[in-house]
Amino acid sequence: MIDKLQNYVSGNWVLGSGLGTVLTDPILGSELVTVDSYNLDIPEAFEFARQRVKPELGSHSFMQRAEMLSQAVKVLQANRDKYFDIATKNSATVKTDSAIDIDGGIYTLNYYAKLSLTNKQYLLDGETTKIGKEYYAKHILTPIDGVALCINAFNFPSWGLWEKVAPAILSGVPVIVKPATVTAWLTHAMLKDVMDAKVLPAGAISLICGSPDGLIEQLRPNDVLSFTGSAETAIQIKSHPNINRSFIRCNLETDSINSALLLPDEFSNDVCLQALCTEVVREMTVKSGQKCTAIRRVLVPANRFEEVVSLIQSQLKKVNVGNPRHDSVTMGGLVSLKQKKYVLEGVDFLCSHARVLFDGRDHRYIDVPGANSSCLGPILLGLPEGKIALEEDAIHQTEVFGPVSTIIAYDNLIQAYQMIKRGQGSLVVSLYGDNIHQLQATALTLANCHGKVHIVSPHCVSTHTGHGNVMPQSIHGGPGRAGGGQELGAERALQFYHQKSVIQAHGTVLEWFQ
């Protein structure tokens, strides 16, 4: 009989009383664990966090809470092997892909544990400003007087957890975590190790697995909600009566049609062209393309279209897809058979609008028993005519969340800019070129519709951090259809969990706020 995962609410590990949902291995089909949150006392969980946990967390300084995070890092590092085993079974990821999630999450947690913050219980925002005769104003940030509900996506059960939890706990705000059901096992394992080690106050992080009713209904005006997932779900959240009635502060990260742009080759652009092709293949295959930052559109000058296609095709042929336990496999499966079905439906739709250049649906899989697995080879589509591509709504507005990308030819930069902006707001655009002035001008042109502009020039083809990698030092989020949210960005992440206020007083009073 497989284990049923417990939930962690009100400082205790408790089982749901329903049948729950069985999680299975996407490659082998074997049953793994059951998640269930039926009949949990959700209102009590929120009240416990507000009334019992918030005062205790808030009584510590930023530096003291940073030390708690440091201890949590040590616990997680001691259990890495267990987490990799779970990721292989539950997410069908090869070891290098699992590391992006697991080690990336631990690295992000450790980064926030080492931030040089004050030993006080508030943060300063800017300098003191004179507003009258011997009367001054100083802006400060104080932790919100509530809890943070964090709803995470299925693709990063570790990193998606810790990139939200780290700044919240550092700010002194208790967190209630609702992971995506299909990959909740890894989130559960990591949180259980940390909470059982008692390096954080009991209940500082609550964990609710499965799909309970009434989570959003429990939010109050001083609480916040951070969500990562589909635009469809985000719309439901934003329109929820309690979100509007209680004026809940929300941070949303949703769909994103990210782009990579090869600039016109005024000079020899071969190095940048090669770098672009390598990065496109990496973004298509890492985690089987199940990344919110993955490259979905590749824009290249019309006279380089065939060259780019040929180079990417040659690299895709070398990708070994199959069972992540096999040493020669470089790309595992999608997270579930259900997700594979969604991806194939999306591919069928896009294929009616673009040419198929590499068809991973015909891929031969390594060490995969039976035909019913979540494996799917990379699929490359193409639009070789810029004028047609500019008017093709589907390619610019449809995200297929898997190993799928489309190469698009453009006739001039203005046309390229127009096509990129047809994405209606994205997380990332990456620029490849060796003309410094052109790179700078393009970055400024596209910055207002992207959360990140990632530039690769000949100087950094081997040292840049990657189109799709999210670093805690930089903000993560994007405008428009990307959700309009913002996470990470060093200390900027803490602002979401704080209230900004201005203290106006005589200078002798404000001297205390230093």
Instruction: Tell me, yes or no, whether 245 and 269 share the same domain.
Output: no
Residue 475 falls within a domain, yes or no?
no
Q: What sections of 323-412 are H helices per DSSP?
A: 337-351, 386-390, 393-397
Indicate if the pLDDT at residue 268 is higher than 60: no
pLDDT band for 446, please (50, 70, 90 cuts): very high
Sheet architecture: strand order including 379-383: 355-359, 379-383, 404-410, 295-301, 258-262, 426-432, 450-456
Q: Which of 191-195, 205-209, 254-258, 267-271 has the lowest mean pLDDT?
A: 267-271
Residue 477 falls within a domain, yes or no?
no
**Residue of 150, 163, 209, 253 marked active site:** 253
Q: What is the pLDDT of residues 26-38, one digit of tens each?
A: 999 999 999 999 9
The answer to whether the CB of 30 falls within 8 A of the CB of 24 is: yes
Q: What is the pLDDT of residues 368-427, one digit of tens each?
A: 987 789 999 999 999 999 888 888 899 999 999 999 999 999 999 999 999 999 999 999
Q: What sections of 288-333 are H helices per DSSP?
A: 305-316
The answer to whether the CB of 416 falls within 8 A of the CB of 383 is: no
Instruction: Tell me, yes or no, whether 351 and 405 share the same domain.
Output: yes
Closest of 154, 169, 198, 223 to residue 402, by C-alpha: 154
203 phi, psi to nearest 5 deg: 85, 5
Q: Are strands 355-359 and 379-383 parallel, antiparallel or unpaired?
A: antiparallel
CA angle 343, 263, 395 (to 5 degrees): 25
Residue 229 falls within a domain, yes or no?
yes
The answer to whether the CB of 331 falls within 8 A of the CB of 320 is: yes
Instruction: Tell me, yes or no, whether 499 and 374 share the same domain.
Output: no
- C-alpha span between 413 and 393 (Å, rounded): 19
Provide the percentage of residues in the chain whose pLDDT is more than 90.
Answer: 88
Instruction: Tell me, yes or no, whether 264 and 342 share the same domain.
Output: yes
pLDDT for 121 equals 79
Instruction: Tell me, yes or no, whether 236 and 285 share the same domain.
Output: no
Residue 414 falls within a domain, yes or no?
yes
Torsion of CA 99, 101, 104, 108, to 10 degrees: -160
pLDDT for 266 equals 55
Residue 174 falls within a domain, yes or no?
yes
Instruction: Tell me, yes or no, whether 301 and 196 share the same domain.
Output: no
Average pLDDT over residues 113-139: 88
pLDDT for 243 equals 96
Q: Which residues have CB under 8 Å from 234's CB, separation 6+?
A: 227, 252, 254, 483
**Residue of 150, 209, 292, 375 marked active site:** 292
Q: What is the pLDDT of residues 76-121, one digit of tens each?
A: 999 999 999 999 999 999 999 999 999 999 999 999 999 877 777 7
Instruction: Tell me, yes or no, whether 221 and 286 share the same domain.
Output: no
Residue 120 falls within a domain, yes or no?
yes
How many domains is the chain built from? 2
- C-alpha span between 463 and 460 (Å, rounded): 5
pTM of the model: 0.94
Instruction: Please report where in the chains the tokens 């009590």 appear, as a residue.
Output: 44
Please confirm, yes or no, whether 47 is among the known catalytic residues. no
Residue 411 falls within a domain, yes or no?
yes
Please confirm, yes or no, whether 292 is among the known catalytic residues. yes
Residue 208 falls within a domain, yes or no?
yes
- 162: buried, middle or exposed (CB in 10 Å: 19+, 13-18, 0-12)? buried
Q: How far out from the chain centre does Cα 368 lie?
A: 29
The domain in which residue 205 lies consists of 3-254+487-510
Indicate if the pLDDT at residue 267 is higher than 60: no
- CATH number, domain with residue 378: 3.40.309.10
Instruction: Tell me, yes or no, whether 177 and 189 share the same domain.
Output: yes
201 phi, psi to nearest 5 deg: -60, 145
HEC letters along 95-118: HHHHHHHHHHHHHHHHHHHCCCCC
Instruction: Tell me, yes or no, whether 246 and 355 share the same domain.
Output: no
Q: Which of 208-217, 259-268, 309-318, 442-451 has the lowest mean pLDDT?
A: 259-268
- CATH number, domain with residue 11: 3.40.605.10
Instruction: Tell me, yes or no, whether 14 and 107 share the same domain.
Output: yes
DSSP-based three-state secondary structure for 378: coil
Instruction: Tell me, yes or no, whether 223 and 135 share the same domain.
Output: yes
Q: Are strands 123-132 and 135-143 parallel, antiparallel or unpaired?
A: antiparallel
Instruction: Tell me, yes or no, whether 329 and 205 share the same domain.
Output: no
Question: Would you tell me the crossing angle of helices 413-421 and 436-447 to the nearest 10 degrees?
Answer: 30
